[in-house]
Amino acid sequence: MKRIKIGMFGFGRTGRLVAAEFIKDDKFHLEWVVRKHGSDNHKYASRLLGYEHDYGMIFSIEEINDSLFKENPVDIIVDFSDSSGVQYYKDAAEAGIKIISAISRYEPEDQALLYSLADKVAVLHSPNITLGINILLVASQIIQKIAPHADIEIVEEHFKGKKEVSGTAMKIANFLGLDEKEHINSIRVGGIVGHHEVIFGMPHQTIRLTHDSISRAAFGQGAIFAAMFLKDQPKGIYSMENIVSEMFSKHRPVY
């Protein structure tokens, strides 16, 4: 099978871990990585990550122009940088390159631009792109429908330094129609990487769906999952929760 060619935006703390997952997976070829600042320019991401081979040449963002996408064609762009990356997608979409964006917050006009490209190529946008969190999200919504009388509470635990409420917990609350202030319980202690729990309380039984992050490399696995799905999709806008939701329906057991 031909390897899927990946171009990445972002090589920060999460970006590096995501790049490493693509490098380790032989269904993919990491073609290049675009970084904001010019350090390590034209070195290889793989070398910087401790590998003895050359994958993912690093380009500074100033170097991007039409020709990057033509001279270094890829199948899919994976963006773990920031909201500014979207400015460069247009040329990519023109070149038929699909887009996976894991950016949390876009300015409205940037988001509009991103979604407009779905007229040309398949575009997936999911701030929390891990498989597990999206399974939690979809399963929670279904269980709420099956057991509408259950009381629901969300618990999220993170490292002490995390100031704001977990965006993932807020998304789950919103999708379940729960008031964020009342139903999200945020625990901040020590170095917990990330724990999300949805509790369904009924009079005589309790169901809990729990997700624990071990490392941010889970984002890389999520991006791989998204890329494997997106490679065969026609133009349009996609999200991890929608993919996972469709799979819930497709894979439901018949006894």
Residue 253, C-beta contacts closer than 8 angstroms, at least 6 positions apart: none
Can you state the angle between helices 240-250 and 217-230, rounded to 10 degrees? 70
158 is catalytic: yes
Query: Which CB, 66 or 246, lies closer to a copy of itself?
Result: 246
At its nearest, how many Å lie between a copy of itself and the CB of residue 70?
A: 34
Residues 235, 123: Cα–Cα separation, whole Å:
7
Q: Which stretch binds a copy of itself (CB under 8 A): 39-47, 112-120, 139-147, 228-236?
A: 139-147
- Please, where are the H alpha helices in 57-148? 66-71, 89-94, 108-116, 131-146
Q: Does 138 contact a copy of itself by CB under 8 A?
A: yes
Q: Does 228 contact a copy of itself by CB under 8 A?
A: no
- Count the neighbouring beta carbons within 10 Å of the beta carbon of residue 50: 7
Q: Does 27 contact a copy of itself by CB under 8 A?
A: no
Q: Does 200 contact a copy of itself by CB under 8 A?
A: yes
Q: Does 227 contact a copy of itself by CB under 8 A?
A: no
Query: Could you tell me the two tokens for 49?
Result: 């990550």
User: Which residue, among 66, 65, 59, has the nearest Cα to 31 in the 3D structure?
Assistant: 59
Catalytic residues: 158, 162
Question: By the criterion CB under 8 A, which residues form the site for a copy of itself?
Answer: 130-132, 135-136, 138-139, 141-143, 145-147, 150-153, 155, 157, 159-160, 175, 185, 187-193, 199-218, 220-221, 239, 241-242, 244-249, 251-255
